[in-house]
Amino acid sequence: MLKYIFKRFGIMLVTLWIIITLTFILMINVPGSPFNSDQSSNETIQANLEAHYNLDEPYHIQYLLYLKSIVTFDFGPSIKQPNQSVNDLLGRGFPISFELGMMTIIVAVISGIILGIIASLKHNGFIDYLAMGLAVLGISIPNFILATLLIQQIAVNLEILPTATWSSPAHMILPVTALATGPMAIIARLTRSTMLEVLTQDYIKMAKAKGLSPWKIVFKHALRNALMPVVTIMGTLLAGILTGTFVIEQIFAIPGMGKYFVESINQRDYPVIMGTTVFYSAFLILMLFLVDIAYGILDPRIKFHKKGGE
């Protein structure tokens, strides 16, 4: 197990290095500079700005500077918000995105699994169709549309909840609902289909024959096996949701880190691009790693010391 973790860690570092290098190469090849704007300017000012952010150095020096900033975990100041370091931006935005993401995941997983179980138990019944109908709706309605709808109906028309910003628990209900619906629907459908498969297995029949209560069969015997595919998608889902979603944060004016992924690239804010890329990649790799570990716990057939699992 330990050997496996070390090996994974090594691979993770190499992967990160490749990502960083590719990002750097892409970054210097995209035309434009962070200092393009509608406003008046001149050559001297552009030169001063470039010198200030070391953009006048040859590319290999810039590359080394980037590597150094990553190793020391100090990405320097953002070009577009010069009084803030990239660390400040991420340090401030991530906890908020994480909070929003965590609530979303909890809501999505719990309600998704429950919906899935109910649907599978009442297979082809009214409740099944209702639950799956909801799930299809959840998957097909993009979250930004749902978000706008929720604001219009619940905040503006009914005036039950506040419209936007992130300042009290009441402010969190709408964004979490908007964000959780999609993943919830995916999880519900996955749970339902795997549950249906598992419920026809011999060992479930055996359990029934033994006279175990239906609840015990579902939670103790069926669910554990039915959850494997859900765990598989959790890694990517977690990384995506926990590091912030641009659209939902934009609509609800939530000061998370989602916007930096998009805006830094539009604005050619190089340090922020590097910072967010490294952060997101590291987080994603870590999540995939945790998922692999979770497999081992859920499925005893997977052993880490043997390459390739089973």
Partner 1 sequence: MKKLLLFLLTLTTVAVLVACTANEDAGQEPDDAGAEETEIEQAEDESASGEKILNLNNSVEPTSLDPSIGFDEVSWIPLNNLMEGLTRLDQDSVAAPGVAEDWEISEDGLTYTFHLREDANWSNGDPVVAEDFVYAWKYMLAPETASAAAFLGYFIKGGEAYNNGEGSADDVAVTAIDEKTLEVVLEAPAGFFLDVLTNPAFFPINKKIAEENPNWHAEAESFVANGPFMLESWEHDSEMVFAKNSEYWDVDAVKLDKIHWAMVNDTNTQYQMFETGELDTASIPPELSDDLIDGDNVYIGNYGGLEFFRFNVNEEPFQNKNIRKAFAYAVNRQEIADFVVKTGVEPAYGFVSPGFTTPSGGDFRDENGDLVSFDTEYAKKLLEEGMAEEGYTELPPIVLSYNTSDTNKAVAETMQSMLSENLGIDVTLENQEWNVFSEAQQNLELQFSRSSFINDYSDPVNFLESFITDSYMNRTGWSNAEYDELIEKGKSETDEEKRYEYLYEAERLLAEEMIVMPIRYYNTVVLQADGVEGILRHPVGYFDLKYADKN
| Contact residues for partner 1, defined by CB under 8 A | 30-33, 35-49, 51-53, 80-84, 88, 92-93, 95, 98-99, 102, 106, 148, 151-152, 155-156, 159, 162-169, 250-253, 255, 259, 266-268, 294, 297-298, 300
The distance of closest approach from Cβ of residue 18 to partner 1 in the complex, given in angstroms and rounded to an integer, is 25
Q: Where are the alpha helices (DSSP H) in the chain?
A: 2-29, 43-52, 59-71, 86-121, 126-140, 143-150, 169-199, 202-210, 214-216, 223-226, 228-242, 246-251, 258-266, 270-298
Q: Which is nearer to partner 1, 41 or 201 (CB)?
A: 41
229 sits in the region (left: phi over 0; alpha: psi -120 to 50; else beta) called alpha
What is the C-alpha separation between 78 and 124, in angstroms, rounded? 55
Q: Which is nearer to partner 1, 12 or 49 (CB)?
A: 49
What is the C-alpha separation between 184 and 135, in angstroms, rounded? 8
Question: C-alpha dihedral over 235, 237, 240, 243, to 10 degrees?
Answer: -70
Q: Which is nearer to partner 1, 116 or 258 (CB)?
A: 258
Is 132 buried (19+), middle (13-18) or exposed (0-12) by CB count in 10 A? middle
The distance of closest approach from Cβ of residue 122 to partner 1 in the complex, given in angstroms and rounded to an integer, is 27
Q: Which is nearer to partner 1, 72 or 168 (CB)?
A: 168
The distance of closest approach from Cβ of residue 103 to partner 1 in the complex, given in angstroms and rounded to an integer, is 9
The distance of closest approach from Cβ of residue 38 to partner 1 in the complex, given in angstroms and rounded to an integer, is 6
What is the C-alpha separation between 143 and 263, in angstroms, rounded? 20
The distance of closest approach from Cβ of residue 287 to partner 1 in the complex, given in angstroms and rounded to an integer, is 12
What is the C-alpha separation between 35 and 43, in angstroms, rounded? 11
Q: Which is nearer to partner 1, 103 or 131 (CB)?
A: 103
Q: Which is nearer to partner 1, 95 or 133 (CB)?
A: 95
The distance of closest approach from Cβ of residue 286 to partner 1 in the complex, given in angstroms and rounded to an integer, is 13
Q: Which is nearer to partner 1, 100 or 196 (CB)?
A: 100
Q: How many residues does the chain have?
A: 310
| Residues 6 or more apart whose Cβ sits within 8 Å of residue 191 | 112, 113, 115, 116, 117, 120, 226, 227, 230
The distance of closest approach from Cβ of residue 180 to partner 1 in the complex, given in angstroms and rounded to an integer, is 15
